[in-house]
Amino acid sequence: MKDQTLSASDERRIQEYLAGRRDAVEAELFEERMFTDDELAAEVQSALEIRAATLHAGVTRRTGRPPRRVLFALAAAAGAAFLAVGLTWLQRPPAAPVFRGVEQSMGLEVEVEGSALRARWQPIADAAGYELQVFARDGRVLRSLEADGTAAALDLGASGDSASEPAFIEVSALDELGQTLQRSARLSLPDR
Amino acid sequence: MTEANYVRQPSDSEGDPGSEAVDLGDLDLWRRFHARLLILGMRRLGNRADAEDMAQDALQRVVKALQENRLREPGALPAFVYQTALHVCQQSWRKRYRERHALEGYARSSLEENGVAQPLTDLIDEERRRVVRLALQSLAMDDRELLEQLYTRDVDPEQLAGRLGISSGALRVRKHRALKRLSAALGEEVTQ
């Protein structure tokens, strides 16, 4: 690897290329450059390996355009869900909005009522502690909370600008050195 | 090794075409271009097996062209490898089209239509993921977090720099050093 660094725009291009977020023409140009730029190619390969090694099913990620059949299926599912929600609302009296999300890989359950967030998660063997992180929509960590037990509560605060609105939450089980043993999926938080 | 080492000048061709120098050149050619050929093949052909076949075929064609002195300009080698790979991909598509047409009576071989494209991360096998994961765990927490934020969570580099209170340039240097440490850790792992 050369002792040089790529530009900030190159770094974003690598992210977008690996996530499948570049259109066909952009991806082709990127690949053409990758063949003539050894430094770029080396970083793409490293990034791909890191991504493959650390990626887990629960990470929320923007991807390229889904196939048309999937779009039809999603549209049908959305229509059915809309109808089901409409029927439920007709039958139930109004209630305070409560959000629940459950992920089975490393169990994380979250409830949000107003600005109060309560989280519970599955205990992990050999974990010395847990780290609960709240992210903005762009992936920035907004809040980080360390806990010894398997539950935590925090106040998400008043809604500010939309860019700093809490959008996702995840919990990590840490060993004594602070290394991640296991991580939950990143759950979406409801809009407030 | 530079492009000039791969491209034999006319006087070189008077020697033994099966010399060791050619074999060493082939090996280096493979080391230099194989990974990026796989990435290109994976994105265009949608699965690892076809990407492997394409990379092998393209490299064989490039070696043959070099042995036959069909490439005289050393600087053109990366572009030549890229164009050869595109050509092999197109041939693969045409073959697929014919097979599908013959089997099903209609030609709908687009990956987008069929929705079968695998993500680029599928290029990295489970053993390599395990090795990279171990190497990542051997890094300092700061390095590991930085690489995961950039390559797994796709956090915008400029926003990450802002969050860490450093400039974009400083972030790139930090990332570059983290990647070098990861390479070193992987080197140790590979030799075990």
User: What local confidence, expressed as pLDDT, does residue B6 receive?
Assistant: 61
Whether the CB-CB separation of B40 and A31 falls below 8 Å is answered with: yes
User: What local confidence, expressed as pLDDT, does residue B83 receive?
Assistant: 94
Q: Pick from A185, A191, A151: which is nearest to A170 by CA? A: A185
Whether the CB-CB separation of B78 and A36 falls below 8 Å is answered with: yes
Q: Which helix (H) or strand (E) holds A70?
A: helix A68-91
**Integer Cα distance of B34 and B59 in angstroms:** 8
Cβ contacts (< 8 Å) between B180 and chain A: which residues?
Answer: 1
| Average pLDDT score, chain A | 75
User: Residues of B numbered 87-126 whose beta carbons fall under 8 angstroms of chain A's beta carbons: which are they?
Assistant: 112-115, 119-124
Cβ contacts (< 8 Å) between A170 and chain B: which residues?
Answer: none
Q: Is B180 on the interface with A (CB under 8 A)?
A: yes
User: Residues of B numbered 3-42 whose beta carbons fall under 8 angstroms of chain A's beta carbons: which are they?
Assistant: 32-33, 35-36, 39-40
Mutate to test the interface with B, among A49, A146, A184 (most CBs of B within 10 A): A49
User: What local confidence, expressed as pLDDT, does residue B188 receive?
Assistant: 52
Q: Which helix (H) or strand (E) holds B138?
A: helix B126-138
Q: Evaluate if residue A64 carries a pLDDT over 50.
A: no
Write the ipTM: 0.77
**Residue in chain A lying closest to B186 (CA):** A46
User: What local confidence, expressed as pLDDT, does residue B127 receive?
Assistant: 92
Amino acid at A139: G
B136/A54 Cβ within 8 A: yes
User: What local confidence, expressed as pLDDT, does residue A74 receive?
Assistant: 57
Q: Evaluate if residue A134 carries a pLDDT over 80.
A: yes
User: What local confidence, expressed as pLDDT, does residue B130 receive?
Assistant: 92
Maximum average pLDDT range among A58-67, A128-137, B11-20? A128-137
Q: Evaluate if residue A123 carries a pLDDT over 60.
A: yes
Strand spans (E) along chain A: 99-103, 108-113, 116-121, 129-135, 141-147, 151-155, 168-174, 180-183, 187-188
Pairing of strands A116-121, A151-155: antiparallel
- Interhelix angle B168-191/B126-138, nearest 10 degrees: 120
* DSSP type of residue A22: S
A11/B151 Cβ within 8 A: no
Amino acid at A84: A
Q: What's the pLDDT tens digit per position in A144-155?
A: 888 888 888 888
**Apex CA B102: angle with CA B98 and CA B106, to 5°?**
85
Please give the average per-residue pLDDT across A94-108, as a whole number.
52
Q: How far is A88 from chain B (nearest CA, A)?
A: 34
Q: What residues contact A139, with CB distance under 8 A and at least 6 apart?
A: B149, B153, B154, B155, B156, B159
Q: Sorting pLDDT into bands at 50, 70 and 90, what band is A159? A: low
**Residue in chain A lying closest to B158 (CA):** A8
- What SS3 state is found at B14? helix
Per-residue pLDDT of chain B (192 residues; tens, 9 = 90+): 566 666 554 444 444 444 434 455 677 888 899 999 999 999 989 888 999 999 999 999 999 998 888 887 878 899 999 999 999 999 988 887 777 666 655 444 444 444 445 688 889 999 999 999 999 999 999 999 999 999 988 899 999 999 999 998 999 999 999 999 999 999 854 433
Whether the CB-CB separation of A57 and A187 falls below 8 Å is answered with: no
Q: Which residue has the higher pLDDT, A192 or A57?
A: A192
Residue A143 backbone phi and psi in degrees, to 5: -140, 145
Cβ contacts (< 8 Å) between A66 and chain B: which residues?
Answer: 115
